[in-house]
Structure formats: C-alpha cells, structure tokens
Amino acid sequence: MSDSTPSARSQLPLLWRLGRGRGAAMAGLLVLDLLSYGTVLAQPRVVKWLLDSVSTGAGFVPGLVALCGVAVLSGVLLFTSNYLLGRFGQRIVLGVRSDMIGALLRARAVAVQREPVGDVLSRVGSDTTLLERAVAEALVRGAGAPLVLLATVLLMALTDLTMALVLLAIAVLGGGIEWLVLRRLYRATEATQAGVGEMLTGLQRVLVAFRTVKASGTEAQEARGVVGRAEAAYRQGAQAARWSALVGACSGVIMDVMFLTALGMGAAKIAAGTLSFGDLVAFLLYVMYVRAPIGAMTQAASAVSEGLAALGRIQRVLAVPAEPDGADADAVPVPAPAGERPPTGIVLEKVSAGYDGTTVLNGISLHVPRGLTVVTGPSGIGKTTLLNLIERFLDAEQGRVFLDGVDIRALRRSDLRRRLAYVEQDAPLLGTTIRQAVRYGTGCTDDREALDALRAVGLADWLTGLPHGLDTVVDERAVSVSGGQRQRLAVARALLRRADVLLLDEVTSQLDADSEEILLRTIADRSRTRIVLAVTHRIAVARRADLVVVLDEGRIRAAGHHTELMRSDPLYRRLATTEVTR
Ligand SMILES: Nc1ncnc2c1ncn2[C@@H]1O[C@H](COP(=O)(O)OP(=O)(O)OP(=O)(O)O)[C@@H](O)[C@H]1O
C-alpha cells in the first residue's frame, strides 16, 4: 500500500466504476430526485397563478389548495428520494468494505503484516464512510442537478430573459471560484484521513503493549505521542473544515448576490411597467429554488472531492496483489533416480530467500524426514523464514522446496496448507470461546476429540477448573489466558488438524519444565507418524529431536543429533549452555 497521493482526476473513473451494475437503481433514484425537484419548481407557477387570480378579483382558494397539494407531494417525494439515496450509498459502502476485507484476506501474509494495523482500519472504516456521501451526492443528486438547473433557468427565462441571463453569468463566475477552493479541500481531506490512520496506528501499538506501557510508567509519554498524532489530524481536519466552510460561504454569497440582483432588476422593471408583481414573486422564488440544484452541485463537488481523497486510500488496499492459489506452471516433481522413490519429507534444494531484496537464507539444502526436527540458531537468523517458505507465505528467490517429492509450487496453496499445521510464534487465538479457539480451522466438530487434544497438551486440569469449560469466553486479546496456556491451546488446535506436517514456532517458550515435558512427549509421540519441524531456542526440545539443524549467517552451519552437536559445534554448545538448562 504505497502512500503516493493520486490526483483527484485519476480517481474519477474508479468512482464511476462503483456505480457499475447499479444502473437501474441509479436511474430510478435519478427519476425520483427529478420528480421531487419538479414539484418544487411547480410551486412558483402556482404562486403566480394564485397572485394573478387575486389581482384579477377571482378567488384564491383553488390556488391555495393546489399549492398545499404540491407542497405535500413534494414532501413525500423528498423523503422517499432521500431515504432511498441514503440506502443506496450504504449499499455501495458495504460493497467496497467487502471488497477491501476480501482483498486483505486474499493478500500475501508478509505483505499485509507489514501494514500499520490502525491505518488499514481507518481505510476500511472511516474512508468508506466518506465514500458514501460522494456516491449518493455525486452519482445521483449531482448528476440530476444540471438538468434541474437547466429547467429552473428556462422557467426563469420564460418569466424574464434578461434577468435570467445576468443571473446565469453570476452563477458561472461563482462556480469557477468554488472549483478552485474545492481542489484545496481534496488535498486537505486526504491529509486528514492519513492523519487519522497514523493516530490509530499509534493507539493500536499502545493497546497491544498496554501492560508494558503501564509497567514502564510511560502512560503520559504514550498519551502525548498518540494525542500528538490526533492533533496533527485535527490540524489537517481544521484546514479541510476551513476549505469546506469556504465552499459553503461562496455558495451562500453567490446566492445572495443573485437574489439581490434579481430583486433590484425586478423592482426597476415593475417601475417601468415591463414586469408584473406576480412575475417578480415567481422569479424570486425561482432564484431561491435555484439554490437547490446549485447547492446540490456544490455539495456533490465537495463530497466528490472528499470521496475521491478517501477512494485513493481505499484503492491502495484494493490494489494489494492477491496471493495466487493455483500451481506455478514451472514447478516439477523432483526427479528421483531411476528405480528409486522420491524422498519423503520436506526437502529444501539450494534455497535462497529474503525480504525486499535482503537475503536471509542463502542457498540452503536440507532434508527434513518424518520425526522431530529442530531448527535453532541465533535470533533473527531466519528460522521463522524457513517456516514461511514451507507455508508459502514467502517464495524462494532461488532453489526449490519439495514435500514428499513434489515441488510445493506444483501444489495449490490451499492444498499445500491443508497438509500443514502451523503454530506461529505468538500463538494467537481466534474464536470467542475455548471450544472455538481449539477447533479453529480444523474441521473438528466433536467435543471429545477437542478434549483429547487439550489433555494431550496438558490443559486437562486447567479446563476442569474453568466454570464454563469449553464454553469459557476468551476475550479479544486472550488476556485471561496465560502465555503458556495460549501456546498449548494453539498446539492442541494444530494436533486436531490431523496434518502430515506440524510446523511449530517456539511453542514451549512460555512453559514451565513440567508443562514443557508433557507437551514434548505428545509432540515426540506425534512425530513418529508425521513430520514435525520445530523452531526453538530451548535445549529440552533439541534434546528430544531426531535431527537438530543449526542456522547461522543465512546457511546451515551444522546438523545432527544434540549430543553429537554438543561435541562438534561450538556455536551450538554456546547456545545450549547459555539457555536456562533444564
Ligand atoms: N515480513 C518481513 N519483512 C521484512 N523483513 C522480515 C520479515 N520477517 C522477517 N524479516 C527479517 O528477516 C530476518 C529473519 O527473521 P526471522 O523471523 O526468520 O528470524 P528468526 O531466526 O525466526 O528470529 P527469532 O529467533 O528472533 O524469532 C530478520 O532480520 C527479520 O527482521
């Protein structure tokens, strides 16, 4: 999601595209809007008829009844058109939000995780709200307004041509000035929305690390930081409010100038005997009603200006490339030597990978067979990156990764991931109850199976102590669940998935020795029939492994059994002995 500011004009086709497929609804709304304006425009004619009837001595009752009838009809049409227009705008917003949520969830994990969460939320939340006004005001009301304006001007011209032409000239001049102000409004709105995004990003960071903030006594400092961003958004918002107010003021002044000009010219014409009193009243009413289409056009322009700014930010979410699911065309099965079966397990063949041009893994070759394989090494060396490659969150820049002899790029991502169970480092929980959290993405519907998995990871006693058992509610950030419980819940979920491969990233880092031992026994047991690849710094895990792989400086530095590596590899020995020995 790059943040280069697109021009308002470049967003116009996008705004137009939002209305695509909704032509009939838009046409219906336009007709309703025009009918509503039509009843308004009929009123001056009825007023003129009423006044002329009075001046000629005929009764005023029929005129008054007609005026009331037109007013009631106008009210009903106005309500209906406003309501349907508002609903239409909401529907567009729903469509855009669904598209954005879909785009985010279809995108590559590494691309989305780099985005500031608060900013993404602001784009999906408040930017789409701005869009609603733009769509309703611009695509429908703004589109009908020129027709209404034309009809009003024609009716004015029918009443008095000279006065109508003078007023039209004033309106055109005023419109030009307003347009200049609107361009500034567009830029200020973009900046405001970006400011709100930054504020939310700051607030989100604080909320995620709330206890650290409290314990560090940095509440005031963090509040200052977030409020500082809120103030920056305020300053941009105040600019936008100034330009928006100026647009409104321009429109008001233009209308006053038009009204006073019409009044002056009309009074002079009555004095000269070239205009009737009824005509002047009708004309002045038209001048007042001409406010509506001009106002609608101004509002449409202002709403479009704000909406286009929002659309630019929305578009950057929609443009995040989707992660393709299909198999890559150039992927081939590993050629097994004649008469031999391809190796089972995971094979990395001269794999290089990294992020944004920085190489993290450099030409790694590795065979991860069935059983428990542990990957260890200094922090930030690329252990999680290795798991990212197997899950295809990230693709190798060079080399290939095979699963049971098949290049993983020859598999659909969804098929590949179905064969894997992954527990990420922070072991986040999804779902609102423990039942949902443990069953999440596993297809398991049986409570007994879920309980077995929880027992296997050592959570049986904890669960028995909970007043609502599996129905216990886990709040959004699972603060009522300890770090170790969360890790074990996540492993239980992975076990329930019945996958061929378990990918575990630091799943025992928050466990005490006894809990770790229970969990490791289960993991070792499951590794007899499947591939378990565990990233860890813990010696207890490495001790149990069939194979330990030491990563350093982008390469595999050593591989073997724990006891063997303790003897042969100084780095491994140092890592193992500096870890809290159990
Ligand atoms: N999504 C990403 N975008 C850019 N760089 C990344 C991304 N993820 C990881 N990196 C970088 O790649 C390098 C390896 O990270 P990785 O998470 O694989 O290390 P690790 O060995 O698992 O670390 P640790 O033991 O601390 O968890 C680090 O320098 C990290 O900053």
Q: Report which ligand 1 atom has the smallest distance to the Cα of 382.
A: 18
- Residues 490 and 452 placed together within one structural domain of the fold: yes
Is 323 domain-assigned?
A: no
Q: 575 CB under 6 A from ligand 1?
A: no
pLDDT digits (tens, 9 = 90+) for 47-80: 888 888 877 777 778 878 888 888 899 889 888 9
SS3 (DSSP) at 83: helix
Is 338 domain-assigned?
A: no
Q: 385 CB under 6 A from ligand 1?
A: yes
Place of tokens 């809990």: 515
Is the per-residue pLDDT at 14 higher than 70? Answer: no
| Amino acid identity for residue 67 in this structure | L
Helix 61-106 to helix 8-18 angle (10° resolution) is 100
| pLDDT computed for residue 10 by the predictor | 60
* Nearest CA residue ID for atom 5, ligand 1: 355
- Residues 354 and 402 placed together within one structural domain of the fold: yes
| Contact call for residues 568 and 559 (beta carbons, < 8 A) | no
| Contact call for residues 474 and 429 (beta carbons, < 8 A) | yes
Q: 360 CB under 6 A from ligand 1?
A: yes
- Residues 461 and 498 placed together within one structural domain of the fold: yes
Distance CA 485, CA 463 (A): 10
Q: 110 CB under 6 A from ligand 1?
A: yes
pLDDT digits (tens, 9 = 90+) for 289-343: 876 777 777 777 777 777 877 888 888 888 888 887 776 666 665 555 556 666 7
Q: 382 CB under 6 A from ligand 1?
A: yes
| pLDDT computed for residue 328 by the predictor | 67
Which of 318, 335, 367 is at the close of a domain? 318
Is the per-residue pLDDT at 171 higher than 70? Answer: yes
- Residues 78 and 208 placed together within one structural domain of the fold: yes
Work out the average pLDDT over 355-378: 92
Place of tokens 């020859």: 410
| Amino acid identity for residue 577 in this structure | T
pLDDT digits (tens, 9 = 90+) for 92-142: 888 888 888 888 888 888 888 777 777 788 788 878 887 877 777 777 777
| Contact call for residues 503 and 342 (beta carbons, < 8 A) | no
Ligand 1 centroid – CA 430 distance (Å): 23
Element holding 121 (H helix, E strand): helix 117-122
Ligand 1 centroid – CA 354 distance (Å): 9
Ligand 1 centroid – CA 386 distance (Å): 10
Of 171-185, 260-274, 352-366, the one with minimum mean pLDDT is 171-185
Of the residues 362, 379, 385, which should be mutated to test ligand 1's pocket, given the most ligand atoms within 8 Å of the CB?
Answer: 385
3-state helix, strand, coil in the chain (%, to 5): 65, 10, 25
pTM of the model: 0.72
**Residue 327 tokens, joined:** 């198999």
**Residue 218 tokens, joined:** 């940095």
Element holding 13 (H helix, E strand): helix 8-18
pLDDT digits (tens, 9 = 90+) for 501-560: 999 999 988 888 888 889 999 999 989 899 999 999 888 889 999 999 999 988 999 999
Is 337 domain-assigned?
A: no
| pLDDT computed for residue 29 by the predictor | 87
Distance CA 66, CA 87 (A): 32
- Read off the CATH number of the domain in which 450 is found: 3.40.50.300
Share of the chain above pLDDT 90, in %: 24
- Read off the CATH number of the domain in which 207 is found: 1.20.1560.10
- Residues 404 and 531 placed together within one structural domain of the fold: yes
Q: Residue 353 forms beta bridges with which residues?
A: 361
Between β-strands 420-423 and 406-407, what pairing exists: parallel, antiparallel or unpaired?
A: unpaired
- Residues 356 and 217 placed together within one structural domain of the fold: no
The total of structural domains in the chain comes to 2
Q: Residue 372 forms beta bridges with which residues?
A: 532
Which residues are CB-contacts of 226 (< 8 A; sequence separation ≥ 6)?
199, 202, 203, 206
| Residue 99: φ, ψ to 5° | -60, -40
Is 330 domain-assigned?
A: no
Distance CA 182, CA 184 (A): 5
Distance CA 435, CA 492 (A): 11
Q: 376 CB under 6 A from ligand 1?
A: no
**Residue 355 tokens, joined:** 């992020």
Is 205 domain-assigned?
A: yes
Range of the domain at 541: 346-578
Q: 315 CB under 6 A from ligand 1?
A: no
Is the per-residue pLDDT at 346 higher than 80? Answer: yes
Distance CA 447, CA 94 (A): 36
Distance CA 365, CA 360 (A): 14
Ligand 1 centroid – CA 381 distance (Å): 7
Work out the average pLDDT over 16-45: 81
User: Residue 470 carries which DSSP code?
Assistant: G
User: Residue 393 carries which DSSP code?
Assistant: S
Q: 108 CB under 6 A from ligand 1?
A: no
Place of tokens 């009413």: 285
Share of the chain above pLDDT 70, in %: 92
Is the per-residue pLDDT at 3 higher than 60? Answer: no
| pLDDT computed for residue 420 by the predictor | 93
Ligand 1 centroid – CA 382 distance (Å): 6
Helix 143-159 to helix 161-208 angle (10° resolution) is 160
Element holding 169 (H helix, E strand): helix 161-208
| Residue 115: φ, ψ to 5° | -75, 140
Ligand 1 centroid – CA 7 distance (Å): 36
**Residue 139 tokens, joined:** 């695509």
Is 252 domain-assigned?
A: yes
- Residues 412 and 263 placed together within one structural domain of the fold: no
Of the residues 383, 509, 535, which should be mutated to test ligand 1's pocket, given the most ligand atoms within 8 Å of the CB?
Answer: 383
576, with CB counted inside 10 A (0-12, 13-18, 19+), is buried
Of the residues 381, 389, 394, which should be mutated to test ligand 1's pocket, given the most ligand atoms within 8 Å of the CB?
Answer: 381
Distances (CA, A) of 286 to 69, 71, 123, 295, 560: 19, 15, 42, 14, 91
- Residues 287 and 373 placed together within one structural domain of the fold: no
Q: 13 CB under 6 A from ligand 1?
A: no
- Residues 292 and 390 placed together within one structural domain of the fold: no
Q: 467 CB under 6 A from ligand 1?
A: no
- Residues 217 and 360 placed together within one structural domain of the fold: no
Distance CA 198, CA 193 (A): 9
Distance CA 426, CA 391 (A): 17
| pLDDT computed for residue 478 by the predictor | 57
Is the per-residue pLDDT at 8 higher than 80? Answer: no
- Residues 135 and 283 placed together within one structural domain of the fold: yes
Work out the average pLDDT over 246-257: 83
Biggest CA–CA distance in the chain, Å, is: 120
| Residue 183: φ, ψ to 5° | -65, -40
User: Residue 408 carries which DSSP code?
Assistant: G
Which of 301, 318, 335 is at the close of a domain? 318
Is 529 domain-assigned?
A: yes
| pLDDT computed for residue 334 by the predictor | 54
Residue 466 Ramachandran class (φ > 0 left, ψ -120 to 50 alpha, else beta): beta
Work out the average pLDDT over 440-448: 88
Distance CA 386, CA 351 (A): 10
* Nearest CA residue ID for atom 1, ligand 1: 110
Of the residues 112, 114, 358, 384, which should be mutated to test ligand 1's pocket, given the most ligand atoms within 8 Å of the CB?
Answer: 384
User: Which band of pLDDT confidence, cut at 50, 70 and 90, is reported for residue 476?
Assistant: low
| Contact call for residues 402 and 349 (beta carbons, < 8 A) | yes
Residue 9 Ramachandran class (φ > 0 left, ψ -120 to 50 alpha, else beta): alpha
Is 559 domain-assigned?
A: yes
End-to-end CA distance of the chain: 46
The overall average pLDDT reported for the chain is 84
| Contact call for residues 234 and 193 (beta carbons, < 8 A) | no
Distance CA 546, CA 426 (A): 25
Q: 355 CB under 6 A from ligand 1?
A: yes
| pLDDT computed for residue 282 by the predictor | 86
> Within 13 Å and on the Cβ side, how many CA atoms surround 386?
36
| pLDDT computed for residue 333 by the predictor | 56
Distance CA 285, CA 303 (A): 27
Of the residues 355, 509, 555, which should be mutated to test ligand 1's pocket, given the most ligand atoms within 8 Å of the CB?
Answer: 355
Ligand 1 centroid – CA 355 distance (Å): 9
Of the two residues 474 and 1, the one the predictor is more confident about is: 474
- Residues 153 and 62 placed together within one structural domain of the fold: yes
Q: Report which ligand 1 atom has the smallest distance to the Cα of 114.
A: 1
Which of 318, 333, 364 is at the close of a domain? 318
Ligand 1 centroid – CA 380 distance (Å): 5
Q: 128 CB under 6 A from ligand 1?
A: no
